[in-house]
């Protein structure tokens, strides 16, 4: 459930990074005030955008979360931590966290499948590029299109029922009809959509291992399992642990697929769907902000844990 690329919160050493420049020294800090001003001329617009669309909203959000504001009226009352108390005590608000568990389980499946196919396709096979393309393509497809494809897939007498009846397992089960079945189905769509990204990441890591290593192992009579265990597994550990972290924060931030397919009906409301509904349908900006702050804190906590567990050797900045 690596929900697209834009908020991936970690770094991993890349095999494709360009070679470091030789003899690099930053230009001497000589010159007058104009010279000292130059970097700020380049940074002005990016910084203004960054502050306006990231830091101001985060600040406002924390402030709104302590009020009962409805998003429109000019007056708002300071209510302290009341919104936070509601999130953790009202069962209908708290319940959405359990829906995340379906997506969490789905990401485990997704990572396992991606790992299997990355290993298989790292060996020389016929039609290797074709299979790679087919497995990756779902990740590129528009979310709304995927939603519709799978609404038809799970429909009564739709794709899934028809395929099952080929195998004599025809059923009139309403796949999106009850909470458990609906959540499992939606989590399955998520596996279908995001496995390709994990797969390509794992494949890239495996292929960055020099080919001589495999050749040497084969000469020594290592089986494929031994090759996986002792060559492949260590080389992809960083990418896999990153994927696990992204999966955890991703499964809390699920929005598109359930919103498009069921609009959160039959117990498929996720945390983000609930927040969006609170803010934009029920005008409870205060409560929604508190929910968003809680999610933000959880994600920061997960990222912090990841940094502690997997210290990355290459810090890109600084």
Partner 1 sequence: MTTPLPARRRRLAPALTYLSLVVASLVVLIPLVVVFLTSLKTSQEVTDGGALSLPGDWLNFDNYVTAFTDGKMLSAFANTAVILLFSITGTVIIGSMTAYAIDRFDFRAKKPVMALFLIATLVPGVTTQVATFQVVNSFGLFNSLWAPVLLYMGTDIVSIYIFLQFIRGIPVSLDEAARLDGANSFTIYWKIILPLLKPAIATVVIIKGITVYNDFYIPFLYMPSEDLGTISTALFRFKGPFGAHWENISAGTILVIAPTLLVFLFLQRYIYNGFARGATK
Touching partner 1, residues 10-29 (CB under 8 A): 10-12, 14, 16-27, 29
DSSP notation for 12-45: ---TTPPPPPTT--PPP--S-HHHHHHHHHHHHH
Which is nearest to 138 in space by CA: 184, 188, 195?
195
Interface region with partner 1, contact rule CB under 8 A, candidates 2-10, 78-86, 93-101, 209-217: 2-10
In degrees and rounded to multiples of 5, residue 86 shows phi and psi of -60, -45
Residue 279 Cβ vs partner 1, minimum distance, rounded to whole Å: 5
User: How many residues interact with partner 1 (rule CB under 8 A)?
Assistant: 114
Residue 215 Cβ vs partner 1, minimum distance, rounded to whole Å: 18
Select from 90, 95, 224, 230 the one that contacts partner 1 (CB under 8 A).
224
Radius of gyration for the alpha carbons in the chain, expressed in angstroms and rounded: 24
Say whether residue 81 binds partner 1 (CB under 8 A). no
| Residues 157 to 186 in contact with partner 1, rule: CB under 8 A | 157-159, 161-163
Select from 122, 251, 268, 285 the one that contacts partner 1 (CB under 8 A).
285
In degrees and rounded to multiples of 5, residue 206 shows phi and psi of -65, -40
Select from 139, 182, 185, 269 the one that contacts partner 1 (CB under 8 A).
139
**CA angle at residue 236 from 230 to 238, to 5 degrees?**
125
Residue 232 Cβ vs partner 1, minimum distance, rounded to whole Å: 15
Residue 16 Cβ vs partner 1, minimum distance, rounded to whole Å: 7
| Residues 87 to 116 in contact with partner 1, rule: CB under 8 A | 113, 116
Select from 152, 216, 234, 237 the one that contacts partner 1 (CB under 8 A).
152
Say whether residue 78 binds partner 1 (CB under 8 A). no
Q: How many CA atoms lie within 13 A of 302 on its CB side?
A: 22
Select from 112, 144, 305, 309 the one that contacts partner 1 (CB under 8 A).
144
Select from 81, 101, 108, 120 the one that contacts partner 1 (CB under 8 A).
120
Interface region with partner 1, contact rule CB under 8 A, candidates 52-60, 73-81, 83-91, 175-183: 52-60
Residue 49 Cβ vs partner 1, minimum distance, rounded to whole Å: 3
CA–CA separation, 224 and 244 (whole Å): 25
In degrees and rounded to multiples of 5, residue 186 shows phi and psi of -65, -40
Say whether residue 32 binds partner 1 (CB under 8 A). no
Residue 92 Cβ vs partner 1, minimum distance, rounded to whole Å: 19
Angle between helices 96-122 and 179-207 (to 10 degrees): 40
Say if CB 199 and CB 128 are below 8 A apart: no
What is each CA distance from 249 to 60, 273, 298, in whole angstroms?
A: 23, 15, 8
Q: SS3 of 126, please?
A: coil
Say whether residue 314 binds partner 1 (CB under 8 A). no
Interface region with partner 1, contact rule CB under 8 A, candidates 57-65, 97-105, 174-182, 212-220: 57-65
CA–CA separation, 242 and 309 (whole Å): 11
């Amino acid at each position: 459930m690596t929900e697209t690329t834009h908020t991936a919160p970690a770094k991993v050493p890349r095999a494709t990074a360009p070679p470091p420049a030789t003899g690099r020294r930053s230009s001497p800090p000589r010159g007058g005030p104009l010279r000292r001003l130059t970097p700020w001329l380049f940074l002005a617009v990016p910084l203004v955008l960054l502050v306006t669309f990231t830091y101001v909203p985060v600040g406002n959000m924390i402030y709104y979360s302590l009020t009962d504001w409805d998003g429109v009226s000019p007056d708002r009352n300071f209510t302290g931590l009341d919104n936070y108390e509601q999130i953790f005590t009202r069962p209908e608000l708290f319940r959405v966290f359990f829906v995340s568990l379906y997506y969490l389980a789905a990401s485990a499946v997704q990572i396992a499948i991606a790992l299997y196919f990355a290993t298989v396709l790292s060996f020389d096979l016929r039609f290797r590029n074709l299979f790679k393309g087919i497995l990756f393509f779902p990740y590129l497809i528009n979310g709304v299109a995927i939603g519709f494809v799978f609404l038809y897939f799970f429909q009564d007498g739709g794709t899934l029922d028809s395929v099952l009846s080929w195998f004599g397992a025809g059923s009139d089960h309403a796949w999106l009809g009850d909470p458990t079945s609906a959540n499992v189905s939606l989590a399955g769509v998520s596996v279908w959509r995001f496995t390709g990204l994990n797969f390509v990441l794992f494949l890239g890591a495996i292929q960055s291992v020099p080919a001589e290593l495999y050749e040497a192992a084969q000469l020594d009579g290592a089986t494929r399992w031994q090759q996986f265990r002792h060559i492949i597994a260590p080389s992809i550990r960083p990418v896999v642990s990153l994927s696990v972290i992204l999966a955890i924060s991703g499964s809390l931030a699920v929005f598109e697929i359930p919103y498009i397919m069921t609009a959160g009906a039959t117990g498929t409301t996720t945390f983000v769907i609930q927040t969006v509904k609170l803010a934009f349908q029920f005008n409870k900006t205060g409560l929604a902000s508190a929910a968003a702050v809680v999610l933000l804190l959880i994600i920061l906590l997960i990222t912090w844990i990841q940094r502690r567990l997997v210290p990355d050797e290459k810090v890109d900045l600084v």
